């Protein structure tokens, strides 16, 4: 699979991100292991929806973890578009965590287990929003809507690319309840599909 990835390197596929019709980032996938463009939100968090784009090459001698977009707020009604392009002319590699947050001490944490104390804190957080409704549509005409309810209080939209299938990217829209979050389960799946070169997916926080 890596051989195919190296063959495609000369063609330099990429992911382009637009918000409200304006360019946000172009990610050159050449040499990357994985890249994830995602929007997440929850009724107990601000902002209500936040855009992130990150990934990297984690092999020895690779670029490591890179960030192109870090927790950018999305406003209701703004259209986020993520497109998988066969050719990419961007040479911008993104930034490391240290470059983005030079004043922060490097984290030595290796255990990310959610303790009982952490679970209690999460369960008792006040709700900052009454509800949410999100919409996802692909250029192939697939469409999904997800809304919050008594149990599903958070959502995730994502476009995931990895070197094992370099001509495609996976699109997903899921909602989660607190038990899903605490158990790190996938949650309720509302859309799961594939983008090929030239395809795109759009996301909107309706309210």
pLDDT at 7: 47
pLDDT at 110: 61
pLDDT at 8: 46
pLDDT at 109: 60
Tokens representing 179? 């038990």
Side-chain-facing half-sphere of 128: CA atoms under 13 Å: 11
Residue 23 falls in which region: left (phi positive, over 0), alpha (psi -120 to 50) or beta: beta
Mean pLDDT by 10 residues, the chain (207 residues): 50 91 95 96 96 93 91 97 92 84 69 78 90 98 96 95 96 91 84 98 97
Predicted model pTM: 0.87
Distance CA 140, CA 155 (A): 23
Distance CA 19, CA 6 (A): 31
pLDDT at 2: 52
The rounded Cα 111 to chain-centroid distance in angstroms is 23
């Amino acid at each position: 699979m890596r051989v195919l990835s190296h063959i495609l390197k000369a063609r330099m596929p990429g992911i382009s991100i637009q918000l409200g019709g304006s360019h946000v980032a172009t990610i050159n996938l050449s040499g990357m292991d994985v890249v994830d463009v995602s929007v997440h939100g929850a009724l107990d968090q601000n902002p209500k929806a936040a855009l992130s784009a990150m990934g990297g090459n984690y092999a020895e001698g690779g670029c490591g973890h890179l960030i192109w977009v870090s927790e950018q707020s999305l406003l209701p009604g703004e259209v986020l578009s993520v497109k998988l392009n066969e050719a990419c002319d961007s040479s911008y590699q993104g930034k490391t965590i240290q470059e983005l947050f030079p004043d922060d001490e490097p984290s030595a944490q290796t255990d990310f287990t959610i303790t009982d104390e952490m679970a209690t804190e999460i369960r008792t957080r006040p709700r900052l929003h009454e509800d949410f409704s999100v919409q996802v549509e692909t250029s192939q005409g697939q469409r999904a809507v997800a809304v919050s309810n008594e149990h599903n209080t958070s959502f995730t939209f994502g476009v995931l690319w990895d070197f094992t299938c370099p001509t495609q990217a996976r699109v997903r829209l899921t909602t989660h309840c607190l038990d899903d979050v605490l158990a790190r389960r996938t949650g309720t799946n509302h859309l799961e599909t594939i983008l090929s070169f030239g395809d795109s997916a759009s996301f909107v926080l309706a309210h």
